[in-house]
Amino acid sequence: MSLDFGRTLSRIRKDRGLSQEELAFRADLHRTYISQLERGLKSPSLDTIERIAKVLQLRASELIRHAEGKLR
Amino acid sequence: MSLDFGRTLSRIRKDRGLSQEELAFRADLHRTYISQLERGLKSPSLDTIERIAKVLQLRASELIRHAEGKLR
């Protein structure tokens, strides 16, 4: 799931026109951590998922659902 | 969110007739960790959410959606 999450995060972030740096800044996370998430190297905590989802204007459940392949 | 997740997890676990011990065993987690999650003391990783959701016969996104209050 972490790799699917990472790929989904990368895609939606780019759809929103955000760089890793911008997303990291707005979610109060480190850019290197965003990079690790997008490469599937880390499994984000629910709190982190929420912070990222908020920046992407999604609910946490929606972001996960995208990663599950139920939304395009 | 962690507290909402914890309360939701506790409710659904009981709905399924599972003890904390049984859920922990089936999800390959420690019972004390389940207890900490249910009390909102920990924010579960996405991998952990998936393992718990699987035991509860839900998708990870559905479990989170319950915690967001969108499902009853």
Report ipTM for this prediction. 0.88
* The pLDDT of residue B69 is above 90: no
Long-range contacts of A46-51 (CB under 8 A, 24+ apart): A46/B1, A46/B2, A46/B5, A46/B43, A46/B44, A46/B45, A46/B46, A46/B49, A46/B64, A47/B1, A47/B2, A47/B43, A48/B43, A49/B46, A49/B64, A50/B1, A51/A27
Q: Inter-chain contact B45–A47, Cβ cutoff 8 Å? A: no
With bands split at pLDDT 50, 70 and 90, how would you rate the model's confidence at B2? confident
Give the best residue of B29, B62, B64, B68 to mutate against chain A (max A CB count within 10 A). B64
Q: Inter-chain contact A50–B5, Cβ cutoff 8 Å? A: no
Which pTM does this prediction carry? 0.90
* The pLDDT of residue B72 is above 50: no
pLDDT in tens, B6-48: 999 999 999 999 999 999 999 999 999 999 999 999 999 999 9
pLDDT, residue B61, reads 96
